[in-house]
Chain A
Amino acid sequence: MSIESSNINVQPHDDPTRSGLTLDSICCERGDRLLIQDLSLHIADGQGVRIEGPNGSGKTTLLRVIAGLSQQYDGQVRWNGEDIRQNASSLATECLYIGHLAGVKALLTPLENLSWWLSLHIPSAKPISQEVQLQALQSVGLDRFADTPCHQLSAGQQRRIALARLYLSEHRLWVLDEPFTAIDAAGVVLLEQRIAEHLAQGGMAIVTTHQAMNIAGFTSHSLSVMSANGAIS
């Protein structure tokens, strides 16, 4: 797997207490295939990492490890210096993960889908008002479909419901697996803007995509690390 990124420190054994996300010698096997070998990187506030690689190179696996979904790996994932195996909840409150599957219920409307997700991920004593949720749907161009059952929407529109979460999120770390899948050109531009905004506010992002990304925070110091680690084909 090759990792192209900006501002990325490839110094795994630095001070472990510093803030941000640290991957320390991550190794992953699936079946009898070694997917990720000895991967180390650090992401600090305001930094974004784009992870690219051929199909089957372990991009999704890596993201699931970082988000805390997958437990089968060697090495350490540290969030603010703490191993997420020891303290999963500190990462859970600050990480937003959008995977291949949108997490959208086909029988519910976009508004209903957004609302249950908010209760799970941005719990608050005062429920988030419907206007704010509609505003988020408007940002992804779905306000006209707010009350249409999702099974009547296209794949791209269903994907946009998941992406509407980005407009409500105040999570520090965004873990996005192929966020541009099924999104049209205009939508890609909007999404890139939103990710750039997030980085400008001091957030962090890890994105897998096969598409060239046009985000200031990602490309300003673009340095490609063709690592010796990676998939055995």
Chain B
Amino acid sequence: MSTIHRDEHAPIFAAFNALLLRDLRVYFRYRGTWLNPLVFVLMVITLFTLGIGPDPSALSNHAAGIIWVVALLGIMLSLDALFRADYDDGSLEQLLLSPQPLYLSVLAKILAHWFITGLPIVLASPLYSLMLGIPFSAVPALAVGLLFGSGILSFIGAIGAALTVSLRSGGLLIALLTLPLYVPAIIFGSQFVESAIEGWPLMPTFSMLLGLLIGAMVLSPLAIIGGLRLSQDV
């Protein structure tokens, strides 16, 4: 029988890569996880167009706010499942007990989740511009804004997911916990889209979004780790 010798100089990204790959595999074998948020976003935007009416100028006036709020809800609702499956099957215990840095493991899980929820929502940007009458020239800015925004939303929402993972249904509680934290992202995100539509300078709001993304990426894993550890003491 062979035993494995532990290597003290093991690459610290080994766990990161393994978890990223594992989660992507799981998500791709269960298609609902990555299709549902995108379909949700498209359906709610459709409802807005029906509710506001066919006047193109009225639609494009509200487009920035609509897209951001809907994307926020889509990502937030999908985040309920981020740690739940791991909690239920015991792989969260194994994750927490691993000698590998938990910070990177948490980043890997969020990144994998963003790939299958946030990224499709970003890639569908041209569709939103058709549905809401946004000028086509604003689509690249819309996509870039959503790219940063969906990242911010994922990191912040993951805090709520970690805090509620040991509860049977965290959905509404996640919303109550994290919606206040989304305020800056919503303000600058929709401002960014509006600047693109109106042709205003993009740089000020862009740098705010970038700052928010970096801040969320650096700080949120600390809160997430705390929440996940708490979940083991129930």
Identify the A interface with B (CB < 8 A): 64, 67-72, 89, 92-93, 95, 97, 99-108, 112, 115-128, 132, 135, 139, 149, 167-168, 170
Is B5 positioned at the interface, with any CB of A under 8 Å from its CB? yes
- Cα distance A119–B9 in the bound complex, in angstroms: 13
List chain A residues, Cβ under 8 A from B21.
Answer: 116
Q: Verify B90–A99 contact, CB threshold 8 A.
A: yes
Identify the B interface with A (CB < 8 A): 1-7, 9-11, 14-15, 17-19, 21-22, 25-26, 29-30, 85, 88-91, 93-100, 105, 229, 232-233
What's the dominant secondary structure at chain B's contact region?
Answer: helix
- Cα distance A163–B161 in the bound complex, in angstroms: 30
Q: Verify A99–B93 contact, CB threshold 8 A.
A: yes
List chain A residues, Cβ under 8 A from B90.
Answer: 99-104
- Cα distance A108–B93 in the bound complex, in angstroms: 18
Whose C-beta in chain B lies nearest to the C-beta of A100?
B90
Q: Verify B1–A115 contact, CB threshold 8 A.
A: no
What's the dominant secondary structure at chain A's contact region?
Answer: loop
Q: Verify B99–A92 contact, CB threshold 8 A.
A: yes
Q: Verify B22–A123 contact, CB threshold 8 A.
A: no
A132 and B4 in contact, given A101-B90, A112-B22 (Cβ under 8 angstroms):
yes
Whose C-beta in chain A lies nearest to the C-beta of B98?
A120
Q: Verify A168–B25 contact, CB threshold 8 A.
A: no
List chain B residues, Cβ under 8 A from A97.
Answer: 93-94, 97
Q: Verify A102–B89 contact, CB threshold 8 A.
A: yes
Q: Verify B97–A95 contact, CB threshold 8 A.
A: yes
Task: Using A116-B18, A120-B95 as known contacts, list a sample of 20 further A-B pairs with CB atoms less than 8 Å apart, ordered by residue number in A.
Answer: A68-B97, A92-B98, A99-B90, A101-B93, A103-B90, A107-B26, A107-B30, A108-B26, A116-B22, A119-B15, A119-B100, A120-B18, A121-B94, A121-B97, A123-B7, A123-B100, A124-B7, A128-B4, A132-B2, A167-B1
List chain B residues, Cβ under 8 A from A99.
Answer: 90, 93
List chain A residues, Cβ under 8 A from B1.
Answer: 135, 139, 167
A122 and B6 in contact, given A71-B229, A92-B98, A105-B91 (Cβ under 8 angstroms):
yes
- Cα distance A115–B22 in the bound complex, in angstroms: 9
List 8 A-B pairs, minimum CB-CB distance, nearest first.
A101-B90, A119-B18, A123-B10, A103-B90, A120-B98, A124-B7, A92-B99, A116-B22
Q: Verify A120–B93 contact, CB threshold 8 A.
A: no
List chain A residues, Cβ under 8 A from B233.
Answer: 70-72
